[in-house]
Amino acid sequence: MQLNNWGPQDLTAPKERLLPQVPATRGLVVEDVQSGWVGAVVRLEKSGGMHIMELADRREKIRAFPLGFGFLIDGEPVEMVAPATAAAAPAMTRTASGSLKVHGLKAQVAKASRIWVEGKHDAELVEKVWGDDLRVEGIVVEPLRGIDDLTAAVKDFAPGPNRRLGVLVDHLVPNSKESRIVADLMKSPAARNNVLVVGHPYVDVWQAIKPTTLGIPAWPVIPRNIDWKLGILAAFGWPHQGAEDVGIGWQRLLSRVNSYADLEPSLLGRVEEVIDFLTAPVSL
């Protein structure tokens, strides 16, 4: 198998600082390259080991971004850094998902509503980023180990107004097997009103981790005749003989994820959509 040698050193090598470093000072107008969001810096705080800046657009809507690369000022690429006065920033006030952290609140007793994901890795990723939020809401994430029998599983779950179900599906793109399974499910009476199925476009949830988080330019392209995860491990130059190597490789990748900023927006939006659906007030 001839694949580019991405090598584990690519996941640990520090980025070269070739761009001008600009302190994130209040009022500075910054553009996030990936999302296109443009706003003025209104707040800077320290979240764990990184600084998070909040940008307010002209409608006073606010989004948070980690400092670093991927920003423009006056159309020129820059690296956003913390001002010298930010060294004594307050302790983390946000969760890994970017929501405000609720201090002193115990986890709620699990509610009947559930989030279903396709496998163990999906569940671990959702837990790492949204775990604090889900414990506050009393929502449990459960791995399905595939969605081939999704319609039957939903029927057995028996969803209702106080027992909602959100399902996150891998590779939910037009004309895929996954899209046909979801279409069949949504025709069933069991899914009406109380089930929300969302998906991301990636072959596997591994790809929802931004390449920049791993220090690589892009995820390797794996030939279709090769098991995707084993092919990824081989491309990284990691052991790739079976399930044990897959598990170890996944833990290495997951260790690089510290917050929502390390994930692709196409996954972030879908998970937030599911949480909103499950926590919305019940209509009488």
Q: Provide the domain count of the chain.
A: 2
pLDDT of residue 257: 93
Q: Name the residue range of residue 210's domain.
A: 114-279
223 and 262 housed in the same domain: yes
The tens digit of pLDDT for each residue in 261-272 reads 899 988 988 998
Q: Is residue 108 part of a domain?
A: no
- Checking if the pLDDT of 244 tops 90, the result is yes
The tens digit of pLDDT for each residue in 77-133 reads 999 999 886 444 444 456 665 554 544 444 454 578 899 999 999 999 999 999 888
Element of type H or E holding 203: none
Cα separation, 240 vs 249, in Å, equals 9
Question: Would you place residue 4 in the very low, low, confident or very high pLDDT band (cuts 50, 70, 90)?
Answer: very low
Cα separation, 155 vs 188, in Å, equals 9
118 and 74 housed in the same domain: no
Cα separation, 89 vs 85, in Å, equals 8
41 contacts 54 by C-beta, under 8 angstroms: yes
Q: Is residue 127 part of a domain?
A: yes
154 and 226 housed in the same domain: yes
66 and 142 housed in the same domain: no
* Whether this model's pTM surpasses 0.85: no
Exposed, middle or buried, 122 (CB in 10 Å: 0-12/13-18/19+)? buried
79 and 118 housed in the same domain: no
Q: Is residue 97 part of a domain?
A: no
